[in-house]
Structure 1
């Protein structure tokens, strides 16, 4: 788990890109809010997911709102949605 996702937060969905080198984690917090963070995985990092953005500080009132914000802010996730 990333250093940017608090241990008390529960990842409810992890969405990877087609190349499996980027992902977005949607998570819930104990206070009932949701958030998301974007990660990358590179061979030189031995496959460890590394946070690449600072989205996790923002709180949303629902999972759906966090997902909509992720789709708006993460280019590859937005493009993936447009293809489906």
Structure 2
């Protein structure tokens, strides 16, 4: 789990790009809010996921609201969700 994902939060889906070097974690918090964070994985980081933005600081009322914002902010995410619509369904269940 990343440095920016609090251990009390529940990551319910992690969406990777086709190169498997970027991902977006969608998570819920104990207060009922939702959020997301984008990560990268590079050789110089020994293959560990490293946060690249500060999206996790924002709270959303629903998983759908968090996903809508993630799609606007993370350029590669729309293509992945188009190719894998099952991931969108998993976000809605979060």
- TM-score by length of structure 1 reads 0.92
Verify: 1:44 aligned to 2:10, yes or no: no
Q: Which moved more, 1:15-24 or 1:37-46?
A: 37-46
Cα distance in 1 between the residues matched to 2:17 and 2:5: 20
Q: Within 2, Cα distance between the matches of 1:5 and 1:36? A: 9
The match for 2:92 is: none
Instruction: Name stretches of at least 5 consecutive residues in structure 2 with no aligned partner.
Output: 85-94
RCO comparison, higher one (Cα < 8 Å, 6+): 2
Question: Distance between the aligned counterparts of 2:32 and 2:40, measured in 1?
Answer: 27
Higher alpha-carbon deviation: 74-83 or 22-31: 74-83
1:79 Cα deviation (Å)?
3.7
Structure 1 residues 11-20 or 43-52, which shifts more?
43-52
In structure 2, the residue matched to 1:26 is 26
In the alignment, the residues of structure 2 paired with residue 73 and residue 80 of structure 1 have an alpha-carbon distance, to the nearest angstrom, of 14
List runs of 5+ in structure 1 lacking aligned partners: none
Per the alignment, residue 91 of structure 2 pairs with none
Shift of 1:83: 5.8
Using the alignment, how far apart are the partners of 1:83 and 1:19 within structure 2?
A: 14
Does residue 63 (structure 1) correspond to residue 29 (structure 2)? The answer is: no
Length-normalised TM-score, structure 2: 0.83
